[in-house]
């Protein structure tokens, strides 16, 4: 079952707190219901996919994709012996926490080695219970895009911390400015194109290294994509979609329409405009904004069953179909959501056994 295969992906993403809380029996009940609904894949944080959980999910007929956080430590502790920098904006201010997010500047070689070692460890010997794929998450320059890319918001630019600026200046054979503010002014005035290329190259380089680790464990490689404009992807988060698509097998645009205050048709429309073969895309579909799942975070206006049906149908009605989609968060599949997904999936054939 390992690898992306060619079958459509009908997935759901389970939140980390759910995976930690559920017993084996609770996970099995959910997995059986998901499979009966026509879903064939589950996403969950890789570090929480131990042997027992993987076997439960695969026994229910579900492929298992683990997500691996790269440049964010919101859910894990980075050892004190591993140096890294918090992002610094053009005014010299370190990024303040925004909701649950702070981010990490992707320019520490020691941190990158830690990433490689951690991914290797998490993909260690699980016997026959291997994950089918790994999706690289937070593979980008820091930005809390959920809020910063909303209409009317001003996204923060980063990172002008001394280590990053010194690395950039060394590549130019230049002397690094003495402060973040001076560095931002120098870069903006004299080296804006080189700066953007530098940031994109860093992400592409580490993507290649991480992809090698994943493939060495006989698993498919995917990544999550920030749902910004082409300019925002290139300039704010350093995600060069065309180059990254040459490295990974699958790309999941994080098209949470309610969080972004968009229509439920937007996930399909956005993904269709990406410069990537649709057969390699798994757009995300937000199925709830309820506080029960969002907690203290702002997930936007409520999502109705009708919204969900529109979103799923948008994925299935494309002239060139996507590889599939992923519902978020999967544990929110209540009776209304299940009915909406079932109605939408009924518009095509092969929604159960042939999808698996």
Nearest of 73, 64, 90, 49 to residue 9 by alpha carbon: 64
The residue assigned the tokens 């995600």 is 239
Helix, strand or coil, per DSSP, at residue 334: coil
What confidence score (pLDDT) does residue 60 get? 97
User: Do residues 215 and 248 touch, judged by C-beta distance below 8 A?
Assistant: no
| CATH at 254 | 3.20.20.80
What does residue 96 show for φ and ψ, rounded to 5 degrees?
-80, 150
Cα torsion 206, 210, 215, 221 to 10°: value is -80
pLDDT at 354: 44
> Which helix (H) or strand (E) covers residue 76, if one does?
none
CB 329 within 8 A of CB 13: yes
| Per-residue pLDDT at 356 | 40
- Whether 3 maps to a domain, the answer reads no
Q: Within a domain: residue 4?
A: no
Walk along the chain (356 residues) and give the pLDDT tens digit of each residue: 345 667 799 999 999 999 999 999 999 999 999 999 999 999 999 999 999 999 999 999 999 999 999 999 988 889 999 999 999 999 999 999 999 999 999 999 999 999 999 999 999 866 667 999 999 999 999 999 999 999 999 999 999 999 999 999 999 999 999 999 999 999 999 999 999 999 999 999 999 999 999 999 999 999 999 999 999 999 999 999 999 999 999 999 999 999 999 999 999 999 999 999 999 999 999 999 999 999 999 999 999 999 999 999 999 876 778 999 999 999 999 989 999 888 888 765 444 344 44
* pLDDT the model gives residue 127: 60
Q: Which phi and psi angles does 179 have, rounded to 5°?
A: -145, 160
Residue 189 counted as domain residue:
yes
Residue 239 lies in a domain: yes
Range of the domain at 74: 9-355
Domain contains 2 = no
In a domain, 262, yes or no: yes
Do 167 and 284 touch, CB atoms closer than 8 A?
A: no
In a domain, 1, yes or no: no
Q: How many domains does the chain have?
A: 1
Given this model, what pLDDT does residue 129 score?
Answer: 74
Q: Kindly calculate the radius of gyration of the chain based on its CA atoms and give it in whole angstroms.
A: 20
Cα separation, 256 vs 12, whole angstroms: 13
Q: Which residues pair with 134 in a beta bridge?
A: 66, 221
Which residues share a beta bridge with 67? Answer: 45, 135
What's the confidence (pLDDT) of residue 128? 61
Model-level pTM? 0.94
């Amino acid at each position: 079952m390992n690898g992306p295969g060619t079958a459509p992906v009908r997935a759901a993403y389970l939140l980390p707190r759910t995976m930690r809380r559920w017993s084996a029996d609770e996970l099995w009940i959910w997995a059986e219901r998901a499979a009966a609904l026509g879903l064939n894949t589950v996403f969950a944080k890789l570090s929480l996919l131990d042997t027992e959980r993987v076997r439960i999910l695969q026994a229910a007929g579900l492929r298992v994709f683990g997500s691996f956080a790269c440049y964010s430590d919101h859910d894990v502790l980075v050892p004190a012996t591993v140096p890294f920098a918090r992002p610094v904006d053009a005014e010299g201010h370190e990024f303040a926490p925004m909701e649950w997010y702070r981010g990490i500047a992707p320019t520490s070689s020691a941190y990158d080695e830690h990433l490689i070692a951690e991914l290797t460890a998490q993909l260690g010997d699980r016997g026959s219970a291997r994950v089918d794929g790994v999706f690289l998450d937070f593979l980008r320059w820091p930005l809390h895009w959920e809020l910063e890319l909303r209409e009317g918001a001003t996204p923060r630019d980063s990172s002008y911390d001394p280590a990053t600026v010194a690395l950039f200046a060394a590549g130019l054979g230049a002397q690094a400015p003495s402060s973040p503010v001076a560095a931002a002014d120098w870069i903006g005035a004299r080296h804006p194109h080189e700066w953007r290329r530098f940031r994109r190259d860093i992400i592409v380089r580490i993507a290649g290294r991480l992809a090698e680790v994943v493939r060495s464990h006989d698993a498919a490689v995917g990544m999550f994509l920030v749902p910004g404009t082409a300019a925002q992807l290139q300039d704010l988060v350093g995600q060069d979609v065309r180059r990254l698509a040459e490295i990974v097998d699958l790309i999941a645009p994080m098209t949470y329409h309610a969080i972004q205050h968009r229509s439920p048709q937007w996930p399909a429309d956005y993904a269709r405009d990406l410069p990537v073969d649709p057969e390699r895309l798994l757009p995300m579909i937000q199925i709830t904004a309820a506080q029960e799942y969002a907690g203290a975070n702002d997930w936007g206006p409520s999502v109705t069953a009708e919204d969900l049906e529109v979103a799923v149908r948008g994925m299935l009605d494309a002239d060139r179909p996507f590889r599939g989609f992923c519902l978020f968060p999967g544990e929110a599949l209540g009776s209304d959501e299940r009915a909406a997904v079932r109605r939408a999936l009924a518009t095509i054939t092969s929604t159960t056994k042939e999808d698996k």
